[in-house]
Amino acid sequence: MREELLAIIEKNSRIDLKELAVILGVEEIDVVNELAALEAEGIICGYHTLINWEKTDIEKVSALIEVRVTPQRGQGFDSIAERIYKYPEVRSVYLMSGAYDLMVILEGKTLREVSNFVSDKLSTLDSVLSTATHFILKKYKDHGTAFATKKEDEREMITP
Amino acid sequence: MRNPLADKVVDIKPSGIRKFFDIVSEMQDAISLGVGEPDFDTPWHIRDEGIYSLEKGRTFYTSNAGLKDLRQEICNTIRRKQGVSYDWQHEVLVTVGGSEAIDIGLRAMCNPGDEVLIPQPSYVSYEPCAILAGATPVIIDLKAENEFRLTAEELEAAITDKTKVLILPFPNNPTGAIMEKSDLEAIAKIIEEHDIFVMSDEIYSELTYKEKHVSIISLPGMKERTVYINGFSKAYAMTGWRLGYCCGPAAIIQQMTKIHQFAIMCAPTTSQYAAVEALKNGDPDIEEMRTAYNQRRRFLMNAFREMGLECFEPYGAFYVFPCIKEFGMTSEEFATRFLEEEKVAAVPGTAFGDSGEGYLRISYAYSLEKLKTAIGRLGHFVEKLRSEQNNK
């Protein structure tokens, strides 16, 4: 049940417990227990909402920053990653294979705010060797969901 | 002027679905539970292969029987899923949907007067195709108490000296019934005893929710007397691509290929290229869709239980077949009133044969959200009918 449960709530965390139990074919109490276990094990880390901010009046700027760093003895990349992800404006931090080490996704109110963060905070960290900032112009799809308006059901109403 | 028409064709009554379709299409804001095709789009990697084949200019006829690659992949798939081997050169034919295979299969096998056994409720085209093939359709009425499976007794009772072919439509549209291995073993004995042939329409074979689907061709002695029909429409959500296939004894496939060659030439080339990709890499897509269907199926069965509507638990296809006999009206009356009063279209069971009387086919090829809305209205309608009955 675990895998199927996760697949469902990854797409829709608002589904109610009773319905979740019905479509999984288990008892509601089992769902409650499994969710509690998943939370306790740190597998479920949050129940977020996917928002297309471009459709609101709220201005937001996102940037994807490639960061090259010097790993630290005994700690590898973890401690530098932690120093970076503790900033609240940092949305995501990934350790990457390839040409750079960390990918940082940043969200700010304005272009300047993002630039300032990179020049004042990120670049000045001791272990950071270099950064390359890419501003995100448009999000087409995020978390597996396309932002384009949903298409109508084009099937015939009745077919054998 | 002389009558330009053939009596045989004129005498075929139009599909019961057609009549209902006309009423529905008049309605502006109706929602539907009446669709017999998946709500998913064809998985992108499959569509992409179709597009790629067009870009490469693969726009010519293929060989009559279908692309070599596709026929070989079909054989691989059947070997993998049913443990049965077919010779791709002589025992496989790629058709325009499973429907074409039903038509030309019956035409290839039946002489005038031969009887074709058709268990009903079942898909609408077996009976007309049998008639067009010059055969006599003989209906076997399946029963709710058997979960609409075909039993050995029912089969035996329907067989005469003239019986030539048994149509085996499982997993079933419209009932969602399946035949499990033991059910098939029971009828296989009789099929062999009476030396009849089988046309097994397994278009919904990937959509079962109990054990994995077992085909009759995997039973001893059955492959030799069975035309196995399958296709891409339901498993890979490829209805519009119009692509199916059949496998069977070389002698039958050879004659079917002859009809196919003269009537159709070959199945659509683009679809065939896309289908190779589907068979090679489409298993995860099937799994994902099956999981979604199964969730909806459980949702519906639970909703019926809650509203006290009788329904046997179906383990195949994407239909449920609730019983509406308690309301004392025909399936058509029920479906018509449901449509007019609640604006929900579902297909009356009688569209699939007289034995569908008293039942309604509800499709769950819809998102859970849509099902919730529609089932809410069904619940409301059922309440209303019950209070009408109580006030009488």
Q: B345 near B20, Cβ under 8 Å?
A: yes
Burial of B369 (0-12, 13-18, 19+ CB in 10 A): exposed
Cis, peptide link before residue A71, omega less than 30° from 0: no
Q: A69 near A128, Cβ under 8 Å?
A: yes
Torsion angle, CA of B103/B108/B113/B119, rounded to 10 degrees? -50
Q: A64 lies in which domain range?
A: 53-138
Interface test with A, best of B29, B123, B298 (most A CBs within 10 A): B298
- CATH number at A67 reads 3.30.70.920
What's the rounded mean pLDDT across residues B32-54? Answer: 97
- Answer positive or negative: Cα dihedral of B246, B190, B311, B386: positive
Q: Return the DSSP state at B208.
A: B
pLDDT in tens, A19-48: 999 999 999 999 999 999 999 999 999 999
Cis, peptide link before residue B171, omega less than 30° from 0: yes
Cβ contact (<8 Å) for B37 and A19? no
- Answer positive or negative: Cα dihedral of A119, A122, A126, A132: negative
The number of beta carbons lying within 10 Å of the beta carbon of residue B349 is: 29
Nearest CA distance, B201 vs chain A (angstrom) = 15
Of A24, A25, A158, the CB nearest to B32: A158
What is the chain B residue with the closest CA to A22? B299
Residues of chain A with pLDDT > 90, as a percent, come to 84
Alpha-carbon gap, residue B9 to B198, rounded angstroms: 25
Of A4, A7, A159, the CB nearest to B35: A159
Residues in CB range of B281: below 8 A, 6 or more apart: B45
Same domain, A86 and A123: yes
Confirm or reject contact between B298 and chain A (CB < 8 A). Answer: yes
Identify whether A129 is part of a domain.
Answer: yes
- CATH number at A12 reads 1.10.10
Cβ contact (<8 Å) for B24 and A7? no
Same domain, A32 and A96: no
Torsion angle, CA of B27/B32/B36/B39, rounded to 10 degrees? 120
Same domain, A75 and A128: yes
Query: For chain B, percent helix, then strand, then coil, each to nearest 5?
Result: 50, 15, 35
3-state secondary structure B108-167: HHCCCCCEEEEEECCCCCHHHHHHHCCCEEEEEECCHHHCCCCCHHHHHHHCCCCEEEEE
Identify whether A48 is part of a domain.
Answer: no
Residues in CB range of A10: below 8 A, 6 or more apart: none
Same domain, A36 and A60: no
Same domain, A129 and A73: yes
Alpha-carbon gap, residue B4 to B117, rounded angstroms: 31
Tally of residues, chain A = 160
Same domain, A75 and A114: yes
Identify whether A47 is part of a domain.
Answer: no
pLDDT in tens, B334-370: 999 999 999 999 999 999 999 999 999 999 999 999 9
Task: Give the per-residue pLDDT at A139.
Answer: 92
Alpha-carbon gap, residue B229 to B350, rounded angstroms: 24
**Taking CB atoms and an 8 Å cut-off, how many pairs form between chains A and B?**
53
Cβ contact (<8 Å) for B17 and A158? yes
Alpha-carbon gap, residue B12 to B131, rounded angstroms: 8
Cβ contact (<8 Å) for B30 and A157? yes
pTM: predicted TM-score of the whole model, two decimal places:
0.93
Alpha-carbon gap, residue B376 to A19, rounded angstroms: 14
Alpha-carbon gap, residue B285 to B275, rounded angstroms: 13
Domain count for chain A: 2
Nearest CA distance, A141 vs chain B (angstrom) = 15
Identify whether A152 is part of a domain.
Answer: no
Cβ contact (<8 Å) for B17 and A159? yes
Confirm or reject contact between B345 and chain A (CB < 8 A). Answer: yes
B residues 114-153 lying closer than 8 A (beta carbon) to A: 123-125
Identify whether A45 is part of a domain.
Answer: no
**Token pair of B161 as six digits:** 């000296």
Chain B residues touching A156 at Cβ < 8 A: 21, 35
Chain A residues touching B25 at Cβ < 8 A: 157
pLDDT in tens, A104-148: 999 999 999 999 999 999 999 999 999 999 999 999 999 889 988
Confirm or reject contact between B375 and chain A (CB < 8 A). Answer: no
Chain B residues touching A25 at Cβ < 8 A: 298
Task: Give the per-residue pLDDT at B27.
Answer: 84
> In this predicted complex, what is the ipTM?
0.85
Residues in CB range of B211: below 8 A, 6 or more apart: B180
What is the chain A residue with the closest CA to B303? A22
What's the rounded mean pLDDT across residues B46-62? Answer: 98
Identify whether A105 is part of a domain.
Answer: yes
Nearest CA distance, A30 vs chain B (angstrom) = 16
Same domain, A59 and A133: yes
**Token pair of B281 as six digits:** 């890499």
Same domain, A32 and A92: no
Of B24, B37, B291, the CB nearest to A4: B291
pLDDT in tens, B97-109: 999 999 999 999 9
What is the chain A residue with the closest CA to B350? A160
pLDDT band per the 50, 70, 90 thresholds, residue B6: very high
Chain B residues touching A8 at Cβ < 8 A: 295
pLDDT higher than 80, residue A149: no
Q: Return the DSSP state at B392.
A: -
Task: Give the per-residue pLDDT at B29.
Answer: 85
Of B15, B123, B345, the CB nearest to A157: B345
Nearest CA distance, B69 vs chain A (angstrom) = 31
Q: CA separation (Å) from B65 to B101, B265, B273?
A: 12, 9, 14
Nearest CA distance, A17 vs chain B (angstrom) = 13
3-state secondary structure chain A: CHHHHHHHHHHCCCCCHHHHHHHHCCCHHHHHHHHHHHHHCCCCCCCCCCCCHHHCCCCCEEEEEEEEECCECCCECHHHHHHHHCCCCEEEEEECCCCCCEEEEEEECCHHHHHHHHHHHHCCCCCEEEEEEEECCCCCEECCEECCCCCCCCCCCECC
Same domain, A57 and A15: no
Residues of chain B with pLDDT > 70, as a percent, come to 100
**Token pair of B387 as six digits:** 């209070």
Taking alpha carbons only, the member of B178, B191, B173, B183 closest to residue B102 is: B173
Same domain, A68 and A108: yes
Identify whether A159 is part of a domain.
Answer: no
Identify the H or E element spanning B212: none
Phi, psi values for residue B39, rounded to 5°: -90, -10
Same domain, A94 and A30: no
pLDDT band per the 50, 70, 90 thresholds, residue B65: very high
pLDDT band per the 50, 70, 90 thresholds, residue B271: very high
Task: Give the per-residue pLDDT at B160.
Answer: 98
Alpha-carbon gap, residue B361 to B331, rounded angstroms: 10
Identify whether A154 is part of a domain.
Answer: no
Same domain, A12 and A76: no
